[in-house]
Amino acid sequence: MCDVLHVDASVRALSNDNPDHDSISKKLARRFISELKKHTHIDEYMYRDIGVNPPPFITQDWIGAVFTPKASRTARQHQILAQSDMYIAELAKADVVVISSPMYNYGMPAQLKAWFDQIIRINETFDFDLARGDKPLAPLMSGKTLVIITSSGEFGFEKGGINEAHSHLVPHLRTLSKYLGVDQIFEVASEYQEFADERHTKSMNMAEQELSVIASVLAEKKSVKLK
Ligand SMILES: Cc1cc2nc3c(=O)[nH]c(=O)nc-3n(C[C@H](O)[C@H](O)[C@H](O)COP(=O)(O)O)c2cc1C
């Protein structure tokens, strides 16, 4: 049994009049959730399509509100932080976080970066203490599992791959995941979308198989660890 937060970041819909335009990352993420349901009971399923409903960008007033002690915040400052508070509450509840993302310009979509900017917040998801020396930030949450599902038009972004030097999507997600309280990461990539050849088909099939395995592995471990 577990609580799942599922965040989709593609601007493309899961299904369109022309299926060639369907989001691959969303399709794979949906597949993963249905596989997970086969293996374990999901107590609470929280879903955000931030590709279609993007989080607001943070502003100077947002930063001002964040650095104002909670008890001293004005009604306006509470309002400015309301969406961030909601995202953080969802994250806090989740045992498993599923993030599906396309690669845009070799990194994450702006919408997903905006979600992280709303969530990685001082005294909520991390604290800051100079007594820790040169690494003053520490996460406040822990014990979460992250499943990263990506889709790209090109290929070879893995270690040793021909595009490794341009791989800024998964490495960035891995860096940020620490501040989500993640200590276990699974990663599945579909590649070659722009080539639309048999390598793409093979990559999709592989991704689907990997997600089935991850769902069963996760369910096994979690049934012991979770509620
Ligand atoms: C704005 C934009 C930028 C993209 N940039 C890249 C890129 O830098 N590298 C790459 O391999 N594919 C790139 N692609 C291709 C997408 O990663 C690919 O179409 C992917 O399947 C999109 O995810 P989705 O199918 O879930 O929407 C880009 C696509 C778009 C729309």
Of all protein residues, whose CA lies closest to atom 23 belonging to ligand 1? Answer: 102
The rounded distance, in Å, linking the Cα atoms of 101 and 189 is 10
Q: What is the whole-number distance in angstroms between the Cα of residue 152 and the centre of ligand 1? A: 5
Q: What is the pLDDT of residue 219?
A: 86
Neighbours of 18 (CB within 10 A): 7
Q: What is the pLDDT of residue 221?
A: 74
Mean of pLDDT over the chain:
96
Any binding-site annotation on 216?
no
β 126-128/137-139 pair status: antiparallel
Q: What is the pLDDT of residue 154?
A: 98
pLDDT(223) > 70? no
**Whole-Å CA distances, 223 to 1, 31, 98, 178, 216:** 6, 20, 18, 23, 11
Q: What is the whole-number distance in angstroms between the Cα of residue 11 and the centre of ligand 1? A: 10
- Average pLDDT on 129-138 reads 98
Q: What is the pLDDT of residue 173?
A: 98
The domain ranges of the chain are 2-225
pLDDT(150) > 90? yes
List phi, psi (to 5°) of 12: -85, 150
pLDDT digits (tens, 9 = 90+) for 81-100: 999 999 999 999 999 999 99
Task: Name the nearest CA neighbour of 152 among 198, 212, 109, 91.
Answer: 109
By CB atoms closer than 10 A (0-12, 13-18, 19+), residue 189 is: buried
The rounded distance, in Å, linking the Cα atoms of 81 and 76 is 9
Positive or negative, the CA dihedral 215, 220, 223, 225 is negative
**Are 190 and 129 contacting, i.e. CB atoms less than 8 angstroms apart?**
no
Q: What is the pLDDT of residue 222?
A: 56
pLDDT(27) > 90? yes
The rounded distance, in Å, linking the Cα atoms of 22 and 12 is 6
- Average pLDDT on 42-49 reads 97
Percent of the chain clearing pLDDT 90 (strictly above): 95
Amino acid at 118: Q
Q: What is the pLDDT of residue 224?
A: 42
The rounded distance, in Å, linking the Cα atoms of 117 and 111 is 10
Q: Probe ligand 1: pick from 10, 32, 49, 104, max atoms within 8 Å of CB?
A: 104
Higher pLDDT, residue 174 or 219:
174
**CATH class of the 2-225 domain in this structure:** alpha beta
220 pLDDT band (50/70/90 cuts)?
confident
Q: Give residue ranges with CB within 6 A of ligand 1.
A: 10, 12, 23-26, 102-106, 151-154, 193
Q: What is the whole-number distance in angstroms between the Cα of residue 102 and the centre of ligand 1? A: 6
